[in-house]
Homo-oligomer: A and B are copies of this chain.
Amino acid sequence: MKEFKFGVTTDTIIFYIDSRKNNNVRGLPEKYFGVLLVKMNNDVYKDKWVLPGGFVNMDETLEEANSRILKKETNLTDVYTEQIGAFSKVDRDSRGRVISIAFMSLIDKTKLKNNIGENASWFDIYFNEDDKMCNIKLVNDTEKLNLKYKKKLVDKTTNEYDYISETNNLGFDHEDILIKGIVNLRKKVNSSDIAFNLMPEEFTIGELKQVYELILGKKLINSAFRRVIKDKIVSTNNYIKTGGHRPSCLFKYKK
């Protein structure tokens, strides 16, 4: 049957929150938000950074393929994952006609025990955006990638935007996939509890607020944040020292 000759891949956007010391600042670690990328080495996109992904086997579902790739890259299982969408431009892959289904996973990077592959690297994400554009900086220890998107308002009542990539600093169409993942993550962060998948078991409200701010790319109002979050968390009655001043209470997610 002539139609059975598509290649199918999954690509997975592994968003992480990392907690580590900023050398310029005294006190406790800070939070960083980012994404795992791998460097291509055997293709026309040689040396381009891309989202981790791979071909789907004939005997597995898309979700199973995605879990397999996630485990291969991070050695993690039982990770929060959701489907983002299918990408199918005819010339998106030079190896042939390949469609890709993108997934988004959320991990707490501090939980990682095993090292990632030598071609992989964690890139912190920094936003710089306004109503017309969104610039994204992806930064690891040695490299800095600048992605630029034009924002087009598509629905004024819901303030929904289309993002059109104007750069070409990731391989394949992965700039399109990444921005779709970010938009999806931001929407869900505001309307569900998925942010807790990025947190350790116990955390302070200040840390949680930092995570929301990193994802949304803007500062939140303290009292409003506490109000919204207070029904979702439960105190452990343990306190930790933070930043050298008043200790803060550790909370858990109330499921």
Which A residues contact B (CB, under 8 angstroms)?
Answer: 1, 3-8, 55-63, 83, 85-86, 88-90, 95-99, 101, 155, 157-158, 160, 191-193, 231-232
Give the chain B neighbours of A1 by CB distance below 8 A: 7, 95-96
Number of copies of this kind of chain in the complex: 2
Closest residue of B by beta carbon distance from A63: B88
**Is A86 a contact of B101 with CB atoms below 8 Å?**
yes
Closest chain-B Cβ to A181's Cβ sits at a distance in Å of 14
Given A5-B5, A95-B1: A86 and B83 interface contact (C-beta under 8 Å): yes
Given A83-B85, A193-B155: A90 and B6 interface contact (C-beta under 8 Å): no
Closest chain-B Cβ to A61's Cβ sits at a distance in Å of 5
- Is chain A's binding surface mostly helix, strand, loop or mixed? loop
Closest residue of B by beta carbon distance from A95: B1
Give the chain B neighbours of A191 by CB distance below 8 A: 158
Closest residue of B by beta carbon distance from A228: B157
Q: Which 9 A-B pairs give the minimum distances between C-beta atoms?
A: A3-B55, A62-B88, A6-B6, A61-B88, A4-B7, A158-B192, A6-B8, A86-B101, A86-B86
Give the chain B neighbours of A4 by CB distance below 8 A: 5-7, 96-98
CA distance A99 to B63 in the complex (A): 12
CA distance A192 to B156 in the complex (A): 9
Give the chain B neighbours of A57 by CB distance below 8 A: 3
**Is B90 a contact of A61 with CB atoms below 8 Å?**
yes
A-B contacts, 5 listed (Cβ < 8 Å): A3-B8, A6-B6, A6-B8, A60-B90, A62-B99
If A3-B55, A5-B5, A63-B88 are given as contacts, then 12 extra A-B residue pairs at C-beta distance below 8 Å, sorted by A number, are A3-B56, A4-B5, A5-B6, A5-B58, A6-B7, A6-B56, A61-B90, A62-B86, A155-B193, A157-B192, A157-B231, A158-B193
**Is B155 a contact of A192 with CB atoms below 8 Å?**
yes
CA distance A231 to B156 in the complex (A): 11
Closest residue of B by beta carbon distance from A83: B85
**Is A59 a contact of B96 with CB atoms below 8 Å?**
no
CA distance A21 to B34 in the complex (A): 56
Closest residue of B by beta carbon distance from A60: B90
